[in-house]
Every structure is written in structure tokens, then in C-alpha cells.
Amino acid sequence: SAVISQKPSRDICQRGTSLTIQCQVDSQVTMMFWYRQQPGQSLTLIATANQGSEATYESGFVIDKFPISRPNLTFSTLTVSNMSPEDSSIYLCSVEVRRNTEAFFGQGTRLTVV
Amino acid sequence: AQTVTQSQPEMSVQEAETVTLSCTYDTSESDYYLFWYKQPPSRQMILVIRQEAYKQQNATENRFSVNFQKAAKSFSLKISDSQLGDAAMYFCAYRDDKIIFGKGTRLHILP
């Protein structure tokens, strides 16, 4: 397994601003993922964060809105840019310890945009 | 495209009783993984159990077991001796190159 620390745990932000969410893992992992969970909904994959290369985004998500960094094998950030109330969600970081198996999750960041 | 369907938005079970949560999925792949995750109010996603598609034997983790029917593409979760701490959202998930989650089933435990 892996211990994942995600910060901040929650934030309330003004529309038009940006928020960067950090994800720190206690061991080196190959794959890191960012998910969005809208209120009462399931998890939707935003992108896969690849170390040393650009993130791979899922349909409906773009780099300008959700830029991702992955500077090393234990850390990644997700920025939610130019926020609107529709971006109010829980954002979750997850990692894969063994390739193509289960993912482990951080505690999530509850974002409210006002 | 792969899909995961959980047809029970909510379920309730009496404490100490057994409950089964349903999940079906659609895929053309033969090699994949299936998971059940639990999300309590703390919102931490916790892996409950996993099943490799190539294994015929159903996975078991203490009070949690699955009924994996590969031909029927069915993957149900059975919770025995339900406890108050089992109250949570349960998500069924499928993985080949990425993990796809179902919509979830909210499980209530009645004391």
C-alpha cells in the first residue's frame, strides 16, 4: 500500500481564482491519478500524471483548466484554474503501487467556489 | 467502452445481518481487475477487496466476499455480520488501463 497526503483538505475560493492541490506519497510510484467527485456522484478521472512528461487528460478535461505537474515519483500537483461554482467538488489524488492493479487514495480536497 | 453499473443507489441492513451489493460491468477484455471501494463520510476511499479476472476463486477478506461471475460480467459484494462501521458509499470499480467506477451504493446499517 501507500500513504498519501493531500493538501489542502478543504478550501473556499472566490470565482476567477486558482487553487493548487498537492499530493505527496511516502514511496516512489509510477502512476498518479487525479479524480473529481461532484456532490453525491461517483469518481471521474481527470488525468494521469506521468513523471517527466505531460499529463494524459481524459475527455472533457483540458490542460488549461487543470494543469498538472509531476516533478518526481512521489509528488504531484493539480491546479484548478479560473474557478467557477461548477468546479465545486472533491478532488482526489490516487496512486498505483503495482502496475495495472488497485489504486490508493488520498483524503481528498473539498473545494467550494463562491 | 467499459462501463460499470450499480443498480442499487441505497440499501439498508440490520446490524449483524448479511447484505449483498450488486455490480455488473461491460468489457470485451479477458484480463482485468475488479474492486470494491468503501467511502465513509470522511471521504477517504478505502479498498475493500479485489479480484483478478483470471482467477476463478472468489476473493475473500474477513467479513467481505465477492461472487464473481465472469461470463455474466457480475461482481457482487457480500458483507457478513454487518457492523455500524460498515455504513458508507460502496463503489464497484473495473480496471484494465485505467479504473472506472460505478455510481455507488449507499449502505445504511440499522442498529
B71-83 average pLDDT score: 97
**B50 and A CB contact within 8 Å:** yes
**A103 and B CB contact within 8 Å:** yes
Mutation test of the interface with chain B: which of A6, A100, A104, A107, choosing the one with the most B Cβ atoms within 10 A?
A: A100
| pLDDT interval class at A2 (50, 70, 90) | confident
Q: What is the pLDDT of residue A78?
A: 97
Contact A100 B43 (CB under 8 A): no
Ranking A99-113, B8-22, B97-111 by mean pLDDT, the lowest is: A99-113
B72-95 average pLDDT score: 97
| pLDDT interval class at A33 (50, 70, 90) | very high
Chain B segment 3-32 residues within 8 A of A by beta carbon are none
A91-112 average pLDDT score: 89
Q: If you search the block for the grid coordinates 502512476, which residue do you land on?
A: A31
On chain A, the residues whose CB falls within 8 A of the CB of B101 are 42-43
- Statement: residue B98 has pLDDT above 90: no
| pLDDT interval class at B45 (50, 70, 90) | very high
Q: What is the pLDDT of residue A54?
A: 85
- Statement: residue A99 has pLDDT above 80: no
Average pLDDT for chain A: 93
- Statement: residue A105 has pLDDT above 80: yes
Q: What is the pLDDT of residue B104?
A: 96
Q: What is the pLDDT of residue A40?
A: 86
Taking the C-alpha atoms of residue B59 and residue A110, their distance in angstroms, rounded to an integer, is 33
Selected residue with higher pLDDT from A51 and B57: B57
Answer left, alpha or beta for residue A34, where phi above 0 means left and psi between -120 and 50 means alpha.
Answer: beta
The percentage of chain A sitting over the pLDDT mark of 70, rounded to a whole number, equals: 99
Selected residue with higher pLDDT from A28 and A99: A28
On chain A, the residues whose CB falls within 8 A of the CB of B100 are 45
**A48 and B CB contact within 8 Å:** yes
B91-102 average pLDDT score: 91
Q: What is the pLDDT of residue B42?
A: 84
